[in-house]
Amino acid sequence: MASLQHSPSSSIHQTSFLNSLPQLGVQKYGGVLPAVCRRGISLIVKAEHASMASSANSLDKCGRRQMIAVGVIAPWVSLVNQTPPSFAAESNKGFLSVTDKKDGYSFVYPFGWQEVIIEGQDKVFKDVIEPLESVSVNLIPTGKQDIRDFGPPQEVAETLIKKFLAPPTQKTKIIAASENDVDGKAYYAFEFTAQAPNYIRHALGVVTVGNGKFYTLTTGANERRWGKMKDRLQTVIESFKISNV
């Protein structure tokens, strides 16, 4: 169901997404500074874990919450040599499955991607050769019961893309946004591109609400590899499900 670019010193603040949502009536763009820095094959995005806690409090007050859906690698990323057998198991050909029973979600990702640890993200897997190919999952507490409480798909997607999933210096374009119902649960799925000076990232995202959390999964690839990767990334997005915990 990810994700872009700036200076290594920039930070991602959870409350900025909440403040940017139209229903909150807040005018100013605040502190969403996803940084991208290319060093060999790595993409760097600095996400401050401390800001997640403050966003939870902000969300309870204003009834809105931010999602971190960035499928990129942070400066302090550490590669996990191998996914524990209890965490991921081979599913259909070419994919591994992930089930997080504690937080109540599951999805699949392409075989060969490595798990990495990024502060502020719940789960991240990436291709170590193609840095723009990754999937990330983020969740933050919310008092809302349904994703539709945040607005229609197009509105939510546009806000996330412009205020969070891409830095202001990148030219973004939303390609599609839709609502899907799975087992009585509403999910918003969207597709977009983000153009940097020397590459374009083509990404897919899905968001939903449940278990008192706002879930976000994003995945994507370099535009030059989109034709090869789009079906696989669509499988990732369509596999994302949450369960009651």
Q: What is the CA radius of gyration of the chain?
A: 16
Taking 50 as the threshold, does the pLDDT of residue 32 lie above it?
no
Taking 60 as the threshold, does the pLDDT of residue 59 lie above it?
no
**Cβ neighbourhood burial of 84 (10 Å; 0-12, 13-18, 19+):** exposed
The rounded distance, in Å, linking the Cα atoms of 46 and 44 is: 6
User: Would you state the structure tokens that stand for residue 233, as one six-digit string?
Assistant: 């990334």
The rounded distance, in Å, linking the Cα atoms of 236 and 119 is: 22
Lowest mean pLDDT among 92-96, 102-106, 210-214, 220-224: 92-96
- Residue 98's pLDDT band (boundaries 50, 70, 90)? very high
- Residue 164's pLDDT band (boundaries 50, 70, 90)? confident
Taking 60 as the threshold, does the pLDDT of residue 42 lie above it?
no
Alpha helix positions (H), the chain: 14-20, 50-62, 153-160, 226-239
Mean confidence (pLDDT) of the chain: 73
Closest CA to 67 of 207, 187, 221, 241: 207
Taking 50 as the threshold, does the pLDDT of residue 91 lie above it?
no
| 8 A C-beta contact, residue 14 and residue 33 | no
What was the pLDDT predicted at 15? 44
Q: What is the mean pLDDT of residues 23-48?
A: 32
Q: What is the mean pLDDT of residues 162-179?
A: 91
* CATH class of this structure's domain 95-242: alpha beta
Main-chain phi, psi angles of 200, to 5 degrees: -125, 130
Which of 139-168 are b and which e, b meaning 16 or more Cβ less than 10 Å from the residue's Cβ? bbbbebeebeebbebeebbbbbbbbbbbbe
Q: What percent of the chain has pLDDT over 90?
A: 55
What was the pLDDT predicted at 209? 97
The rounded distance, in Å, linking the Cα atoms of 215 and 122 is: 10
The rounded distance, in Å, linking the Cα atoms of 87 and 97 is: 8
- Residue 191's pLDDT band (boundaries 50, 70, 90)? very high
What was the pLDDT predicted at 38? 34
Taking 50 as the threshold, does the pLDDT of residue 119 lie above it?
yes
What was the pLDDT predicted at 120? 85
What was the pLDDT predicted at 140? 87
The rounded distance, in Å, linking the Cα atoms of 120 and 95 is: 25
What are the structural domain ranges in the chain?
A: 95-242
The rounded distance, in Å, linking the Cα atoms of 20 and 22 is: 6
